[in-house]
Amino acid sequence: MLDHIKGVYIIAQTPFAEDGALDLPSIDTLTDFYFRHRADGLTVLGVSGESGKLGAEEALAVAERFIQRAKGHPVIVGVSNPSLAALAELAGRVMDRGAAGVMIAPPGGTRTEEELFGYFDAVFRRIGQVPTVLQDFPFSTGVWMSVPSMLRLIEAFPQIQVVKAEDIPSPAKISRLRASQGRRVAILTGNNALYLPTEMDHGADGPMAGFSHPEMLSEVYRLHASGQREAARDVFDRYLPLLNYEGQGFWGVAARKEVLRRRGAIRSGAMRQPGPRLTPEDLRDIDLLLERLGRSLAEAGKTAAAA
């Protein structure tokens, strides 16, 4: 069951070699890296995990490797697919291998509440009682779900146990979901965690986001959850320039993977084509951001020591 989960669920990157081949050994080091920095769980095969570039067997291999290396930590697997048959097949296979649940977004072209409801009715007839994260990410899917529509889905389908909130303005929508819901579901935030402290103020249970410094997400979550909201914002603000830089769509994912490479989490920062490649100028920008972050963290350390 996922409806009472809280904490940090990292959107995991998919490691590739320079020639575009899957780098399965880097999944091991990346998984260890995430949990070393206090992730509570992982979400794999998300949009920023380049799931759309994988074949069916590759997707299963990636999910299986993350699940095995997580050693009992929950792993949620994105299974969204225009083909309902492909979605159901992957969902069944990853659950058989120990996934905690799946993440599903409505398909592009969904326009009415009746179409939305009909789609998820068809999904759950196929996949049964699999715990599901409902992904609300209209800027990717092109499907805008109203709060009443989402509440109707939640009440009709007990399999929906988590909402991944990525619509904008996200804090207001989170508040409306929290105020109106009958059956409780967990709400985890996406949007690259760019609004994390404010979203937690409005009732989010933590982030489901990717960042090259997952320790920031963990510290912000834990400080906020313990009532230290100003301290949480102080930590968040130190990382915000780099967080913003990584929030630039798939180009930002390329930057994130380069930083993860530098931190030893993966062997290569390559994205599978089609995808952006960083220029020497981009690399200099990353150098500058990391240097400034290092100075900011050092200064914060000195201030804490003096206190």
Confidence of residue 4 (pLDDT cuts 50, 70, 90): confident
Which letter does DSSP use for residue 168 in this model?
Answer: S
How many Å separate Cα 28 from the centre of its chain? 18
Tens digits of residue pLDDT in 253-286: 999 999 999 999 999 999 999 999 999 999 999 9
Give long-range contacts, CB 8 A cutoff, 24+ apart: 105-111: 105/80, 105/134, 105/135, 105/136, 105/137, 105/140, 105/141, 105/143, 106/141, 106/143, 106/145, 107/80, 107/82, 107/141, 107/143, 108/82, 108/141, 108/142, 108/143, 109/142, 109/143, 110/141, 110/143, 111/143
Distance CA 86, CA 66 (A): 20
128: left (phi over 0), alpha (psi -120 to 50) or beta: left
Tens digits of residue pLDDT in 63-80: 999 999 999 999 999 999
Tell whether the model's pLDDT for residue 181 goes beyond 90.
Answer: no
Tens digits of residue pLDDT in 198-224: 999 999 999 999 999 999 999 999 999
Confidence of residue 104 (pLDDT cuts 50, 70, 90): very high
Tell whether the model's pLDDT for residue 1 goes beyond 90.
Answer: no
pLDDT for the residue numbered 180: 86
How many Å separate Cα 76 from the centre of its chain? 10
Nearest-5° Cα angle at 41, 157 to 54: 80
